[in-house]
A and B are shown apart, each in its own frame.
Chain A
């Protein structure tokens, strides 16, 4: 990459904005605004800056519906909303999926509609940290805030998570390089361990890399638990790791003053799924016999945690909530989007601030080709290629304000920085103008 000069041509700066990308919700960003458009972002990581300085080529600004030739056509809001309402009203098993990249205020309206219609409400947790949420119900949730990590933690473990790629400021702002009240020297006061079959970018800047074999996570955590409980390991190599290394690591973890385990999708997407997280939570519980330990799931979208907290508060279940009987029901593997789609159950699918086209497996997406899909989003994405009604939204944390929940469950208010891109009014043939 070449050197790029700093951006000096801007009208004004909006300070202390909140990033709407990942679960870190960095709330110290400065937007450089010119002509009501963000031209540069200070303090953000590559991902956050990229999202905020969006690609206007693919920005959705007008409502669209599919015509009889299968092509999207611009229509006015009333027509598009009527069409969407018609699809929803005529369906028996609608699914409202998404919600993670929007504000909690929006979810409030969504759950009201879902309850009225008898829909299934689900969010991206179903394809990322769903097993973690199930494990939390099985085994508990020994969590701490990221502020505690910054000020106290002297041992950081990343497991199945590549923070340098998916949460680039996590290490800098909350966990590893930052200075804290009890960790005045920052990185030098902390030990960083990465557990990942891949020698990831996070592993490259860690003190220790535990490269256990693929799908070996369950066995490896059980081995650490056995050692923590004073048992002897009979095998010489467990999940590709020599037993001496496991003894050494367990000793190191016991002697930490304040340790934190951050785990990502490396644990939830492999074969043992929620059992991996079960055992990781139990390992943290075992470690608490010796020292202070906590854990935090590395949540992906900036408000994926918000939907889970909001739904748990509203109806008692974190995700995959089925209102078809008029009261909330939840059953892992039954009322979750992927399982529903694979069983070809839904007959109407509404996508709100999500992209199933980019993130669902083929086997699930095939059913979206058979049913009407309504998309509410800000950019033209893979889901638009499958959508029958497209409703443009506003960019939360840039064009409108809202509340989101950080990965540790701290609610953060995201302020508005610029106005939504203006639209010229359409002059209809009868002389009336719309939006």
Chain B
């Protein structure tokens, strides 16, 4: 093998992995703190998953309804997360989101405006008040472009189409990362005492998903192999409204903004079935007649919100139930209709939805119903981090955004993802600086580690024969769809875990043809092991949680159980095997528990 000196080496104080909202926000922070910052991204700059976010970013600015404040946002987040969130993270997020959103305006973001010229805010599922700062239905694009155009002038180095293989460590501490360039297939060693992961989720392990090829759980795989803990991995969010027809776009996201702007869900009998699916916990805040729902839409502040805007887990399960009962839409979903609103209004508020359905499904949403169904959208779980600093249990390794965990608990509210990125991206940057200030000496890169990691990926090219990686991915997706889907049960999960063991063996023996230069086949071989590790972590946590809570539904354990509230699932790699355990939840800070359980009247009047 070649000597370390002959491999391209790049040095940074901080290496950020991923250039979506969290990665770019973290890199802006560390650059501004005077740290040499490198960002690597699997795709080109500006193409990360963040661009697909549509509805908006949640922040209690109070521009549209002045009764809103951070405490109510915090309470909504905890209730949406079924009280499995990390208390401090949910509080930090609600407190800091408004400043992070306003700061984007200073960097050039142009949000939709209220009549008085302030940032406009829209309604979304689970949020008590209009809270989502937005730009039509392309808020994610606005976020990423703003961070990109601002970030490139802050001194960061962006290394595009560069993919991480594994972390490098010196006595447990981070010393860098081995990566490769997609364009040439050549290796590159990053020497950096801090690595911030902003690698997103692992939704690509499912067939029906809104996620792209990038979402292969790279961060989960690399972090776990470096000794980091993963948490809450059973909580995978199925967004209730993905496209269902035509087959090639099954899973593509239909923004919750459609329901936020008044879209209604019906079954094949024309029944607005969400009225029959209101959980006890939300009954006092949800309209129970069409008339009241309409009043709310017309702006009556006393009216309660329509049941279509219940949290995502509730809506997704309700659609599944209709389909299973034989009342689904033509292609196995539900009907979503916004055509009762003015056609110009729809085109202005939901331009990319209009475009998407027109071009991909030949449906005019200003006149026709959409067909929608659940699609794997988001990992609530992820790499376990400290709430304040975002550091993992591996010294020097940080995680922010979807790849981290703690904010969302058992279910994420729409709009809390984009604000998560900027709040905790910035926090990770600050955490990195604090870590570096205390770090004495520079952790070294070990030649043997680099060699071992290189060998593990070159093998895919060098071996004589092996399976096509795409076929293994296909089988993985079938397995996850069947065994770890939206509704789970113990026997199915156990069988799924068995199948994953076989898939792991197959994934270790896949073969990439041709050379390493821009070779998606080889890239898939490398991604596959992270995908399977993430999938197994999810299945094992799902088996361990014997209740139904938030996004995790067990047929054999219906309803929430008291025991379920006492722990978070934690996963660790022990001798190469994934082990799940229950980590007892600490007693919540008194102040926060009081806010979370307070009545709305008290919070609006700031009596709590």
Query: Do these two chains really belong together in a complex?
Result: no
